[in-house]
Amino acid sequence: MSSRRVQGTSNTLFSDASDSADTTQPATVDAAEATAESDCEDTADPDNTIDADLLESLAQDFNCCATVATDHGPPASSGQPQSVRSPSPDPGPPPSVQSEHGNSDGQPQLIVDTFPHGSPGAPIPDVRQGSNVYQSSHELFGSSIWAPFRSQCDWEVAHWAKTRGPTSSALADLLAIPSVADNLGLSYRTPKELNDIIDKELPGCPPFKCQDLTIAGDTHQVYFRDTLQCIRSLYGNPEFARDLAFAPERHYVDHRRACRVYSEMHTGDWWWAVQTSLEAHRPGATVVPVIISSDKTQLTLFRGKTAYPVYLTIGNIPKDTRRKPSRRAQILVGYLPTTRLEMINNKAARRRALGNVFHLCMRNILAPIASYGETGIPMMSGDGVWRRCHPIFAVFIGDYPEQGLVTCTYFGQCPKCTVHRNNLGDYSTSPPRDYDEALESFRLADGDVLPFHAACREARLKPTFHPFWEALPLTDIFVSITPDILHQMLQGVMKHLIAWLTSAFGAVKIDVRCRSLPPNHHITTFVRGISTLSRVSGLEHKQMCKILLGLVLDLPLPSGEAPSRIIKTVRALLDFLYLAQLPSHTTDTLLRLEQSLSRFHDNKEVFIDLGVREHLNIPKVHSMMHYKSSIILFGTTDNYNTEQTERLHIDLAKDAYRATNHKDEYPQMTAWLERREKIQQHGTFVTWRQQAQQETVQDSKPNGPPKPVPRTIQMTRHPSRKAVSFDILADKYRALDFQDALADFIARINHPQASATALRALAEDTLLPFRSVPVYHKIKFVSSRGSEIVDAVHVRPEQRDARGRVIPSRFDTVIVHGNAQVGALRNKGPRIAQVRVVFQLPSKVIHQVFLSPDIALPTHLAYVEWFSPIPTTPDSNDLYKVSRLTQNGRHLASVIPVDSLFSSVHLLPRFGPETSEWNTFSVLELCRSFYVNPFSNRDVFLLHL
């Protein structure tokens, strides 16, 4: 496939104020304070001019990186941190601080420039190494692996009881069965006794505290933990010690440093800028980026019970670890009140009061870190090393309503910049929101109401009584708002796009095409179409995006007009979505991200012309303007996706609620969570003891950008069918030329140097001393890191299930590595093929058909039918078209090693007028031409770049 490589740079940075106000407030809000503000409607048009600096930076992006950004070093110390919101563009650090990260697989080495000034992440001098959590627990519990439990059985039952979901009543009934506790040797006879052991003898995360809030005469509770202790718990976890990042780095593709790489948070410019500020007045700082996420979640379907959890993690932990709930790299730091304040009759006043309650609670939760951002506090990492750590609020993760609540902006406005709501659909940049102006406005909250409201109205902000971020050092809340793939793209822009396409083409045509797409491991088959679906989840929208382009390709509009502009718009948005989700970005891919956004805006007016939309001034459409800058600042979007928050709701809110009696649930939920966390933490300690190895690390180094995970092909130990005759292969599997293709394969193995003409003659003379082969119906591609199935190829004939129902045949298409044999010619470059049979040669006949006993034969073979070569250049829609290869009226086929398969591939049919008989299982047989679907999975998408 073609390669379109362009290089560019970006100097987009941010700015911040060095001063902050003291916002320590009492935990009581009266009705007057809660309703003191009035809704400020946005009446003044903001300056809608284009930012010249950003346009210049964009122009540099398109000039192929003629220069490399450089760093002027830290400013002179003044006793206060330098503004970290607008550091000067840096020239790269001196060559003495570079290093190379590579691997033994022949992949290009990564050039890493470390922070060149001061001693970021350095251990505190003259402080001896401490004991980590595991070592302290070892000293506490002594030589017994299972302590404080009596035995392995005693421990395993306790672990099962607290992690596998049995209710307290069910556990009590089990323990009440005569002799159960005695025969198992349990140290507890009731759930209460087990809880006492967990509460009193097992270490764990910081406990929850409860604080009463009095609002308009009503008392509400907020449950929260000591945030600083939660950060200590994460930072000091021995499970993370080997992977923690302690200092910022700049990664480059090569020594020219023309192409930057962004992945983990410490590879972005935010960490570098904060480190520059801290090193200026207190060298040796270790930045601890604090990442906060919050979102309301439904606990019950019918009773309207909700929870408002707040989660915390730190950017020092690799993003892959943070994304896995099983690693427990995210901590629940609080449950906010979910009251609706029905006692306040005025709706506007109620909204203002709810906003003030949110900020008051968050201010109390984050108060412990407010005083240590600049001064730092000693913390011990999981390897026992003490460093002076500076917890800095870095990122807030939330959907659009949460972003507006946090930034005190009005609905319909951008929480990051000053674009007017009537210009949200424009492809133009607006000045960022002024953090200094916001601080000045909110400092007036303690004075007269009218000046306070006037200042907030001028800043286009809701008058909020001291937002929680007002006292946080080195923070710009407008910069801290990050992209949200789930709500902004999947449940936002793409949801709108699907609705617009359905309206433009008609639901019937869209659904017919849905039912006619071939199956694939990565594709969900919507056999009833997509127009009738309700309550569509983000995962379902993600699956729809994989087939969306195929639903509109070559589909004429009801007016007969060609859909070229619509297809360009769809392609641009899909490119943007997939590029935005890359786990590692370069200057090149960020340029492609901007180009795809530009193409969308060039063609988006088609929906207005068709009457589908009156305008495109949608906040989520505008949010795409900020993706590139956020990636440059904080790393790739998988560092801050709300999909992680949604997953945490299951474990830390919904499961906790189910464990209660649903009355006064929060004390029960917090107690249940504390006990489960203690059991889980003790489980990792037990595993450490069993492995008899200590988590000591001499040099903790952050990981570089993630590399593609190697995959291996995995076949079942036994074949799906032990002996399938050649006749059945031709009839049921449609492998019409199986014997001829196998003879060709044997001739090539026996005579590798023979010419094509000689091979044909040798194949004709090859006799097969067998009439059947064992076959396999599935090929699995497994991650080499574990047993996770990352891809699969199905190869099965029509069959019936246990109830006699017909299961249609399925023969998937694949990408084949280069150098495979296609007829008489050797393939150059990857090719598309359909797998008809996966088989083994009978072991008893191998010595009869191959001339040398020393020939290294592949264990599994595949009979495949070929498609035409992938074109060197794509068509006008940036797609690659392939069609069936035939020879003498039959599909051109070969036998190749299964190891030559790269991955499955999804093909989009070229729909014509006669498609009424096509369905998902027959379309590969009936259609002659296809497009390679670039959006079926990330591997195929990357091949298209």
**349-367 per-position pLDDT tens digit:** 889 999 999 999 999 999 9
Q: In the prediction, which pLDDT does 756 show?
A: 84
> 837: which strand partners?
863
- Residue in the structure block whose two tokens are 């017909």: 806
Check if the beta carbon of residue 75 is closer than 8 Å to that of residue 85: no
Could you tell me the residue range of the domain that residue 526 belongs to? Answer: 485-639
Quick one: 423 and 508 in the same domain? no
Q: In the prediction, which pLDDT does 831 show?
A: 93
Alpha-carbon Rg for the chain in angstroms:
31
CA 597 to chain centre: 20
From CA 69, how far away is CA 57, in angstroms rounded?
A: 11
- 350 domain-assigned: yes
From CA 159, how far away is CA 288, in angstroms rounded?
A: 32
Check if the beta carbon of residue 620 is closer than 8 Å to that of residue 421: no
SS3 83: coil
Q: In the prediction, which pLDDT does 90 show?
A: 42
- 521 domain-assigned: yes
- 585 domain-assigned: yes
pLDDT in tens, 522-543: 999 998 899 989 889 999 999 9
User: What is the pTM for the complete model shown?
Assistant: 0.85
pLDDT in tens, 410-439: 999 999 999 999 999 999 999 999 999 999
Q: What is the mean pLDDT of residues 917-942?
A: 92
**Which residues lie below 8 Å from residue 628, measured CB to CB, with a gap of 6+?**
10, 12, 590, 593, 594
CA atoms within 13 A on the CB side of 754: 18
Quick one: 447 and 550 in the same domain? no
From CA 190, how far away is CA 172, in angstroms rounded?
A: 6
- 163 domain-assigned: no
pLDDT in tens, 375-385: 999 999 998 99
Tell me: pLDDT of 627 over 80.
Answer: yes
Whether residue 148 has a cis bond before it, omega within 30° of 0: yes
- 439 domain-assigned: yes
Higher pLDDT, 702 or 939: 939
Q: Regarding beta strands 285-294 and 309-314, do their DSSP bridges make them parallel or antiparallel, or are they unpaired?
A: antiparallel
- Residue in the structure block whose two tokens are 């200057």: 587
Quick one: 311 and 259 in the same domain? yes
Residue 808 binned pLDDT confidence (cut-offs 50, 70, 90)? very high
Tell me: pLDDT of 820 over 70.
Answer: no
Q: Which strand ranges, in their side-by-side order, compose the sheet holding 585-586?
A: 98-101, 110-114, 249-252, 260-262, 585-586
- Residue in the structure block whose two tokens are 């340029």: 591
Tell me: pLDDT of 781 over 80.
Answer: yes
Q: What is the mean pLDDT of residues 877-884?
A: 94
Residue type, position 670, single letter: T
- 130 domain-assigned: no
Quick one: 463 and 492 in the same domain? no
Out of 31-40, 259-268, 274-283, 672-681, which region has the weakest mean confidence (pLDDT)?
Answer: 31-40
Distances (CA, A) of 700 to 268, 315, 525, 696: 19, 15, 45, 10
Number of residues assigned to the chain: 945
Q: What is the mean pLDDT of residues 169-194?
A: 94
- 449 domain-assigned: yes
Quick one: 467 and 497 in the same domain? no
Q: What is the mean pLDDT of residues 605-628?
A: 96
From CA 716, how far away is CA 851, in angstroms rounded?
A: 29
Residue 851 binned pLDDT confidence (cut-offs 50, 70, 90)? confident
Quick one: 316 and 398 in the same domain? yes
Helix H or strand E segment including 712: strand 711-714
Quick one: 436 and 293 in the same domain? yes
CA atoms within 13 A on the CB side of 104: 0
Asked which of 465, 480, 495 is the last residue of a domain, the reply is 480
- 938 domain-assigned: no
Higher pLDDT, 109 or 44: 109
Q: In the prediction, which pLDDT does 183 show?
A: 93
Return the C-alpha torsion angle 85, 90, 94, 96, nearest 10: 40
Its sign, for the CA torsion 165, 168, 174, 180, is: positive
Number of domains in the chain: 3
- Residue 49, Cβ density class (10 Å: 0-12 exposed, 13-18 middle, ≥19 buried): exposed
**Which residues lie below 8 Å from residue 14, measured CB to CB, with a gap of 6+?**
84, 85, 86, 269, 270, 273, 432, 476, 479, 633
Tell me: pLDDT of 202 over 60.
Answer: yes
**Which residues lie below 8 Å from residue 254, measured CB to CB, with a gap of 6+?**
108, 111
pLDDT in tens, 690-732: 875 444 433 434 333 344 456 889 999 999 999 999 999 999 9
From CA 211, how far away is CA 218, in angstroms rounded?
A: 14
Quick one: 784 and 837 in the same domain? yes
SS3 539: helix
Share of the chain above pLDDT 90, in %: 66
Q: What is the mean pLDDT of residues 364-393?
A: 94
Tell me: pLDDT of 12 over 80.
Answer: no
Q: In the prediction, which pLDDT does 152 show?
A: 92
Q: What is the mean pLDDT of residues 217-236?
A: 93
Q: Output the CA angle 716-722-723, nearest 5 degrees.
A: 140
pLDDT in tens, 649-671: 998 999 999 999 989 999 999 99
Q: In the prediction, which pLDDT does 61 show?
A: 34
Tell me: pLDDT of 840 over 60.
Answer: yes
Check if the beta carbon of residue 20 is closer than 8 Å to that of residue 470: yes
Asked which of 587, 622, 639 is the last residue of a domain, the reply is 639
Check if the beta carbon of residue 248 is closer than 8 Å to that of residue 271: yes
Tell me: pLDDT of 132 over 80.
Answer: no
Whether residue 897 has a cis bond before it, omega within 30° of 0: no
What are the backbone dihedrals phi and psi of residue 313, each rounded to the nearest 5 degrees, phi first?
-145, 175
Quick one: 632 and 726 in the same domain? no
Asked which of 599, 619, 639 is the last residue of a domain, the reply is 639
Out of 93-97, 806-810, 811-815, which region has the weakest mean confidence (pLDDT)?
Answer: 93-97
Quick one: 65 and 33 in the same domain? yes
| CB contact burial 872-895 (16+ within 10 A = b; e otherwise) | eebeebbbbbbebbeeeeebbbbb
Q: What is the mean pLDDT of residues 842-851?
A: 87
Helix H or strand E segment including 866: strand 861-866
CA atoms within 13 A on the CB side of 147: 10
Residue 249 binned pLDDT confidence (cut-offs 50, 70, 90)? very high
Higher pLDDT, 501 or 945: 501
DSSP symbol at 520: -
- Tell me what the pLDDT averaged over the chain comes to: 85
Tell me: pLDDT of 53 over 60.
Answer: no
The beta strands (E) that lie in 521-674 are given as: 585-586
Tell me: pLDDT of 58 over 90.
Answer: no
Residue type, position 4, single letter: R
Quick one: 219 and 342 in the same domain? yes
Share of the chain above pLDDT 70, in %: 83
Quick one: 310 and 444 in the same domain? yes
From CA 838, how far away is CA 780, in angstroms rounded?
A: 12
From CA 240, how far away is CA 681, in angstroms rounded?
A: 13
SS3 900: helix
Q: Which two tokens stand for residue 166?
A: 């049995």
**Which residues lie below 8 Å from residue 486, measured CB to CB, with a gap of 6+?**
399, 538, 641, 642, 643, 646
